[in-house]
Structures are given as C-alpha cells and as structure tokens.
Amino acid sequence: MMSSNYKSDFPVFGAYKDLVYLDNAATTQKPRQVLEAVEKYYREENANPLRGLYGLSVKATDAYENAREAVRKFIGAKSTKEIVFTRNASESLNLIAYSFGRAFINEGDEILVAISEHHSNFLPWQILAKEKGAVLKFLECGRQGEYTEEALRAALTPRTKLFAAAQVSNVFGRINPIKRFAEICHENGTLIVCDGAQSVPHMPVDVAELDVDMLAFSGHKMFAPMGIGVLYGREELLEKMPPFLYGGEMIEYVTREGATYAELPHKFEAGTVNVGGAVGLHAAIDYINSIGFENIVRREDELTALAFGKMQEVPYVNIIGGESAVCHSGIITFTIDGVHPHDIAAIFDSDNIAIRAGHHCAQPLHQHLAVQSTARMSLAFYNDEEDIERFIKTLSTIRRRMGYGG
C-alpha cells in the first residue's frame, strides 16, 4: 500500500502537525495550489469583470470565464451556458426551486424527494410545495440506505414533475444509481435534480452520461474556497427559467417599464460575481486532475475499507447504513451505545481528531432510521493510514472515558 505525501500540499497540516482531519464531507482543506491561484488573481488580475473596458477587467473576465470552461469540461456539460456559478450547492438547489419551481410547478403537481436528502435538497422543495399547493412525496430507503428502482417506479405518478436525489448520501456515503434513476424519471416525463455535493469531489461525474437535468455542487467540498458553487442545468431548461436574483450584470436592457435579461449563464448571476472563488475552483479542478480520479478513488476506497474493518471490531460501535465498506465511499456514520454523538465528537477533539456529530443536516432521515443523532467520519485522499489508526485508537477509548467500565 502506497503511503502518500499528499498532505504536504495542504498548509493546514503544516500548521497543526497533530491534526487528524476526518470531516471532509463538511468541507475539505485547501491545497497550496488553490491558495496561490486565488492570491495571484487578487494580486495581479483583480477588477470588476464582464463590463470590462480596460485591460485589467478583461483579465478578470477571462479568469472567470476560463474557470467556467474548466467546470464545463470537468463535468462533461455541452456548453458553458449550462454552468451557473453560485455560492454553494444549497444556493444552486434554491435557485432551481425558486426559478424553475415557481414558474413550472403548479397546484396538485408532485415533487418526489429521497428521504436521505440533505436539508438543502429537501427544504426548498418543502417550501415550494407549501406555496404552490403541490404535493411533497418521499422515496424511502432501506436500512442500508438503498433505494430500489421498483420503489422509484411506484412512487412516480403522471403528476410527478421533479425528483430530487443526491448521487452520494452525506450520511450513508452510498452511491445512488442516478443514471438509472434518470432513465426511469425521463420515461415518466419527470425531471431529475441531482445533489452532487458529495460525489463531484470524489469520483468522475459526467452529466451527459448520467443524463441528469440539473446538478448542484459546492467548491469548498472539493478543495476550493468557500463561497463558490455550481449549478449545471440543461441549456433548454435554463433558457426557459426566469432569473432568480435581479440586479447588475444579469440584464441586457432596462427601461422604466421593464428589462430584458442577459444571455445564459449570466441571467442567473446578478451582481458582482465571486471571481476569486471561481479561480480557486479552477485551480482545485486542475489539482484534482493532476492527481487523477483513478488515484483519488483508489486511495479513498483503501482508507474506507481499512477504517470500516477496524470499526467493526470495536465493541458497542454501530455503523449506520451499508454492511460492507464498498457502500460507504469515504463516509462512515456511526453511533456508540450509551454515548451521545456530541460527546463522541468532543472526545475525538480532545485527541485532535476532527469529526462531525449531529443530524448532518438530514433530520428526516434520522427520523426514518429512528436514531436520535449520529457521529460521522469522512475521508479525503490526503488522509493516511496513521489518521485511521489514531481514529480507531480514540474510538476504542470513548466508552471508558465516559465512565463505562470494561
């Protein structure tokens, strides 16, 4: 097994030599390559883009649009018109609900949401359904987090306008068969909105191959800065959707009575945009490509298998979801008998190990599974065997440190 030195690319591990960072599903650390690209942009290329009448503004515009092209290529979209920059996956999903939802979802229409969705891919639909008098329905998963094609077929009706599901659940770490889901939805005339926040950073995602209608993801979970995210939407769909935010940069012509809106994708990007963030995302994509998904996936699978196997051996530890490591792609959610997840996280923290505890923004799922709350460790390729060893070592001591004997 190769022991990587990827950590040397990440300054945070130089600053905190003892840190074991296992909260990558919440946000990843940032490599030097990204930090330097952002700094270079602000040092040498910063101006307000898109209305550039001078050289520096043209540079800023180029930096921004080059980032868009890098994203297009990264996810296999047909055109840069299909790539809208947002703040994060949550904003992308809200954009769809506000713009598409308010224009095209009507009273009595049905919206189907997978029960394991993050609140970001659930609340916008809940609110929309309430406003429009539409019906919100849930696709239920099994104990291992699995969804079946039969259940999806049974849940779809002629009135189902839209199905919202994540490619990888942020609780189970399970990869959902989005390509099959898209086929089934399309046979029914239903659109599929995919939350790619946990998949795009960790595996090759190609929108043409998956054939999803919309895909949302965040830069900060893929080594880019916080505050830059992406909405992919099919061009013909985005074309007929009304703007989401109104203001500068998104108009063509404005009079006292009305306005015409800018071409895609600028129609959805009101106000001065986050060029620095887009440049950082571009650098993050280059960084991911330089390592290669082949290596990233292999490394994360190795570490997941190692952690999963050892966790199974620790008494009183219960893993949520799939019964084998391959169902977990870098995310292992668990409980310990008799210890509240927030106490688990606090004890890990005292050993300088960062994990997440709570509902992971998926309360309906926790209700469905009848668990109060859970703890979650999540990996990235830069983690190593020593991180897993330390994680397991602390995990094995938690019950004792909470006062349980034996």
Partner 1 sequence: MADNFYNEVLLDHNLHPQHLHELSCATCSNAGLNPTCGDSLTLHLNIEDGVIKDGSFTGVGCAVSQASADIMLDLIIGRSVEEAKHLCRLFGKMISGEITDDELEELEEASALANISKMPARVKCATLSWKTLEQMISEIQAAE
* Residues known to be catalytic: 361
Which one of 80-88, 103-111, 137-145, 353-361 is the stretch in contact with partner 1 (CB under 8 A)?
353-361
Which 8-state DSSP code applies to residue 6? G
Which residue in the block uniquely carries the two structure tokens 């009448």? 53
- Please tell me whether residue 55 binds partner 1 under the rule CB under 8 A: no
Among 51, 148, 346, 393, binds partner 1 (CB under 8 A): 346
CA distance between the termini of the chain: 34
Spatial contact of 242 and 100, defined as CB atoms under 8 Å apart: no
Q: Which is nearer to partner 1, 327 or 336 (CB)?
A: 336
Q: Which is nearer to partner 1, 79 or 367 (CB)?
A: 367
Phi-psi region of 316 (alpha: psi -120 to 50; beta: other; left: phi over 0): left
Q: Helix, strand, or coil here: 137?
A: strand
Q: Which is nearer to partner 1, 218 or 374 (CB)?
A: 374
Taking the CA atoms of the chain, what radius of gyration do you get in angstroms?
Answer: 22
Per-residue x/- track, 360-389, partner 1 (CB under 8 A): ------------xx----------------
Which one of 126-134, 189-197, 280-288, 344-352 is the stretch in contact with partner 1 (CB under 8 A)?
344-352
Query: Which tokens in the block code for residue 7?
Result: 């950590």
Q: Helix, strand, or coil here: 16?
A: coil
Query: Which tokens in the block code for residue 331?
Result: 């995310």
Which H helix or E strand runs over 335? strand 331-336
- Please tell me whether residue 400 binds partner 1 under the rule CB under 8 A: no
Among 51, 240, 393, 401, binds partner 1 (CB under 8 A): 401
Least Cβ distance, residue 339 to partner 1 (angstroms): 7
Cis peptide before 11 (omega within 30 of 0): no
Least Cβ distance, residue 398 to partner 1 (angstroms): 10
- Please tell me whether residue 69 binds partner 1 under the rule CB under 8 A: no
At a CB cut-off of 8 Å and minimum separation 6, what does 341 contact? 335, 357, 358, 373, 374, 375
Least Cβ distance, residue 368 to partner 1 (angstroms): 15
Q: Which is nearer to partner 1, 264 or 344 (CB)?
A: 344
Among 55, 158, 315, 403, binds partner 1 (CB under 8 A): 403
Phi then psi dihedrals of residue 315, to 5 deg: -60, 150
Among 281, 283, 347, 380, binds partner 1 (CB under 8 A): 347
Q: Which is nearer to partner 1, 159 or 359 (CB)?
A: 359
Query: Which tokens in the block code for residue 71?
Result: 């994203």
Q: How far apart are CA 27 and CA 130, in angstroms?
A: 31
Q: Which is nearer to partner 1, 102 or 340 (CB)?
A: 340
- Residues lying near partner 1 in the complex (CB under 8 A) are found at 339-343, 346-347, 349-350, 357-359, 372-373, 401-404
